[in-house]
């Protein structure tokens, strides 16, 4: 069973183990280090548990930590919008864990925050992530041409959006 829970110091070794993967790094922003060390993991745990931290959680199964999911609330005129992000350890890919974690994160966002719009940008070469978002009710709002440079390559960003159901 896939759950989300707070990230704890004891997760650091598994965070470092799974995050130190070029295939994961290729689908994340450059502030996510590669290679990824145990010191990076301890710094990450400290950051997500610090004051004013974002809403970032561990994805866990019956074993333990297997990935990360979270939202980053935006500011200024975008104050009711949040950006969704996630990554999963490679041994757990294609088993439904990310879809379930995203569903749980959506529920958390609608119930615990005043966010009315969740958005997620996906690199054009990551169709698996696009499928996860579509499965969870997101729709593709735009394709931003030549928006990103990752690993020296220019690529498009697909912007996916989910709006708070208003009754």
Q: Integer distance in angstroms from the first to the last C-alpha of the chain?
A: 31
pLDDT in tens, 126-146: 999 999 999 999 999 999 999
- Give the model's pLDDT for residue 51: 82
Domain boundaries in the chain? Answer: 3-118
**Which of 146, 152, 95, 96 lies closest to 124, judged by CA?**
146
CATH of domain 3-118: 3.40.630.30
- The angle at the Cα of 38, spanning 47 to 149, to the nearest 5 degrees, equals 70
Asked if residue 112 has a cis previous peptide bond (ω within 30° of 0), the answer is no
- Give the model's pLDDT for residue 108: 97
- Give the model's pLDDT for residue 154: 98
Residues of the chain with pLDDT under 50: none
- Give the model's pLDDT for residue 110: 96
With beta carbons less than 8 A apart as the criterion, state whether 87 and 28 touch.
yes
The token duo for 158 is 């697909």
């Amino acid at each position: 069973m896939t759950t989300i829970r707070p990230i704890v110091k004891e997760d650091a070794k598994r965070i470092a183990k799974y995050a130190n993967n070029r295939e994961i790094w290729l689908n994340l922003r450059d502030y996510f280090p590669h290679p990824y060390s145990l010191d990076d993991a301890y710094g990450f745990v400290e950051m997500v548990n610090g004051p004013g931290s974002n809403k970032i959680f561990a994805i866990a199964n019956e074993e333990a930590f297997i990935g990360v999911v979270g939202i980053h609330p935006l500011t200024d005129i975008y104050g009711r919008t949040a950006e969704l992000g996630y990554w999963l350890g490679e041994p757990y890919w294609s088993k439904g864990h990310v879809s379930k974690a995203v569903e749980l994160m959506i529920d958390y966002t609608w119930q615990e925050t005043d966010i009315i719009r969740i958005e997620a940008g996906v690199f054009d070469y990551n169709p698996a992530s696009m499928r996860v978002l579509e499965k969870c009710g997101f729709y593709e709002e735009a394709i931003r041409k030549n928006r990103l440079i990752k690993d020296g390559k220019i690529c498009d960003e697909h912007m996916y959006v989910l709006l708070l159901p208003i009754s």
